[in-house]
Amino acid sequence: MAFDLPNDFRCPISLEIMSDPVILQSGHTFDRVSIQQWIDSGNRTCPITKLPLSETPYLIPNHALRSLILNFAHVSLKESSRPRTQQEHSHSQSQALISTLVSQSSSNASKLESLTRLVRLTKRDSSIRRKVTESGAVRAALDCVDSCNQVLQEKSLSLLLNLSLEDDNKVGLVADGVIRRIVAVLRVGSPDCKAIAATLLTSLAVVEVNKATIGSYPDAISALVSLLRVGNDRERKESATALYALCSFPDNRKRVVDCGSVPILVEAADSGLERAVEVLGLLVKCRGGREEMSKVSGFVEVLVNVLRNGNLKGIQYSLFILNCLCCCSGEIVDEVKREGVVEICFGFEDNESEKIRRNATILVHTLLGIPMSS
């Protein structure tokens, strides 16, 4: 039986799978042929415990173990002859694709085909994502990002994005130099490549140390802000999402503000991009952000419009931003009152969101000069 059977199925003497297991009086099990040879050679001790045996040792058939061995062998035989599962097929397929991708002799067309299929395989299968990473294919994918072929670049970015779904890969990708490639794509890539690159930054920024690394990387934040200003709808949404992820790290807020992002974010919020309001909700926590917001003409009207027509998240952040600005400026308090915000806040008393109710209450107290009770 050439199957990978448990060691307990092997005879302690011959180390072969037992065909007729028997129990010695010491309680240990051996294959009948092996233990009988031991006894016939004049041994009267247990081969394992070395304890003495009777003059005529009695061998008790171990029917339970024999049945287990036979059943296990039967199952193993069926396993070896069954068709491969979809997962097994995918793993086998991925190995060939990886080999093509990393080969120096592969053409761009071959690499593109491998990347396209690997993107499909890694989208949902965590084990294949780990396999691709451990195989050294990341370096080959990064080289493809440097390619002038936009289709090859797009597929390699998509593969890297899938690989970044594994938390263990996020720091490794940054260490391998993915940020430099992303920044280059954000500057000169195709619209689709730029959007994927921004999404990849968002995924990498889930890890705290990456937020600091990305934020301090030259041009990373300014490239996102530029994309937010001139990109299409998808590019703007993905760049705003990446900025939001980065701004959860306090040191990055000043960097984002210093790139001239506030007027661009306000304009984006005015055009209906509510993710921009969420970014502003983080930037308002730093003094530079508050100062820049107070300079943008019409900003209060934009926030009030979100209060009237936005989603729950946008309303929550708009209330928070208004409260922060009102705490620093009497002029903004007067403007917010003129926009009817007190009445709008009263309308949030029964809102389903506890955060909205709380933020609305705090803003009303700020506007009316009523101290909050402890």
Assess whether pLDDT exceeds 60 at residue 9: yes
**Which residue is associated with the tokens 């760049």?**
239
CATH number at residue 247: 1.25.10.10
**In this predicted model, what pLDDT tens digit does every residue of 186-207 receive, in sequence order?**
999 999 999 999 999 999 999 9
Distance CA 323, CA 336 (A): 10
21-23 and 29-31 beta bridge pairing: antiparallel
* Bridge partner list, 31: 21
Same domain (yes/no): 123, 171? yes
Tokens of 153: 């670049």
Same domain (yes/no): 233, 316? no
Assess whether pLDDT exceeds 80 at residue 248: yes
Range of the domain at 317: 297-373
CATH number at residue 34: 3.30.40.10
Rounded to 10 degrees, what is the CA torsion of 362, 364, 368, 373? Answer: -40
* Residue 216 amino acid letter: S
Rounded to 10 degrees, what is the CA torsion of 304, 307, 310, 313? Answer: 120
Q: Is there a contact between 45 and 53 (Cβ–Cβ < 8 Å)? A: yes
Same domain (yes/no): 193, 287? yes
Same domain (yes/no): 368, 312? yes
How many Cβ atoms are within 10 Å of 324's Cβ, its own excluded? 19
- Please state the rounded mean pLDDT for residues 271-283: 96
What are the residues whose beta carbons fall under 8 Å from the beta carbon of 129, sequence distance 6 or more? Answer: 122, 162, 163, 165, 166, 169
How many Cβ atoms are within 10 Å of 365's Cβ, its own excluded? 15
CA distances from 257 to 183, 226, 236, 311, 323 (A): 18, 13, 17, 25, 19
What are the residues whose beta carbons fall under 8 Å from the beta carbon of 371, sequence distance 6 or more? Answer: 365
Can you say how many angstroms the Cα of residue 185 is from the centroid of all Cα atoms in its chain? Answer: 21
What are the residues whose beta carbons fall under 8 Å from the beta carbon of 220, sequence distance 6 or more? Answer: 179, 182, 183, 201, 214
Q: Phi and psi (nearest 5°) for 45?
A: -130, 155
* Residue 67 amino acid letter: S
CA distances from 81 to 89, 169, 261, 281 (A): 15, 36, 62, 60
Query: At which of 25, 57, 78 does a domain end?
Result: 78
Query: For residue 184, is it within any domain?
Result: no
Kindly state the helix (H) or strand (E) to which residue 302 belongs, with its residue range: helix 299-309
Q: What is the pLDDT of residue 7?
A: 74
**In this predicted model, what pLDDT tens digit does every residue of 54-104 receive, in sequence order?**
888 888 888 888 877 777 766 655 555 555 455 555 666 888 899 999 998
Query: At which of 176, 206, 234 does a domain end?
Result: 176
Q: What is the pLDDT of residue 1?
A: 41
Same domain (yes/no): 94, 156? yes
Nearest to 67 by CA among 23, 130, 21, 112: 21
Same domain (yes/no): 227, 268? yes
Same domain (yes/no): 40, 58? yes
Same domain (yes/no): 197, 283? yes
Query: For residue 11, is it within any domain?
Result: yes
- Please state the rounded mean pLDDT for residues 93-118: 91
Q: Is there a contact between 91 and 132 (Cβ–Cβ < 8 Å)? A: no
Q: What is the pLDDT of residue 81?
A: 55
Residues of the chain with pLDDT > 70, as a percent, come to 93
pLDDT bucket at 16, cuts 50 / 70 / 90: confident
What are the residues whose beta carbons fall under 8 Å from the beta carbon of 12, sequence distance 6 or more? Answer: 28, 30, 47, 48
- Please state the rounded mean pLDDT for residues 279-287: 97
Nearest to 217 by CA among 238, 186, 196: 186
Mean pLDDT of the chain: 90
Query: At which of 55, 78, 101 does a domain end?
Result: 78
Q: How many domains does the structure of the chain reveal?
A: 4
Q: What is the pLDDT of residue 348?
A: 95
The residue ranges of DSSP E strands in the chain, in sequence order, are: 21-23, 29-31, 60-61
* Residue 200 amino acid letter: L
Q: Provide the whole-model pTM.
A: 0.75
**In this predicted model, what pLDDT tens digit does every residue of 176-189 receive, in sequence order?**
999 999 999 999 99
- Please state the rounded mean pLDDT for residues 164-171: 91
Assess whether pLDDT exceeds 70 at residue 294: yes
Q: Phi and psi (nearest 5°) for 82?
A: -75, 155
Residues of the chain with pLDDT > 90, as a percent, come to 74
pLDDT bucket at 319, cuts 50 / 70 / 90: very high
Question: Residue 297: left if φ>0, alpha if ψ -120 to 50, beta else—which one?
Answer: beta
Q: What is the pLDDT of residue 77?
A: 57
Tokens of 214: 């990305």
Same domain (yes/no): 349, 280? no
Query: For residue 369, is it within any domain?
Result: yes
DSSP 170-209: HHHHHHTTHHHHHHHHHHHS-HHHHHHHHHHHHHHTTSHH
Query: For residue 111, is it within any domain?
Result: yes
Neighbouring C-alpha atoms within 13 Å toward the C-beta of 114 = 21
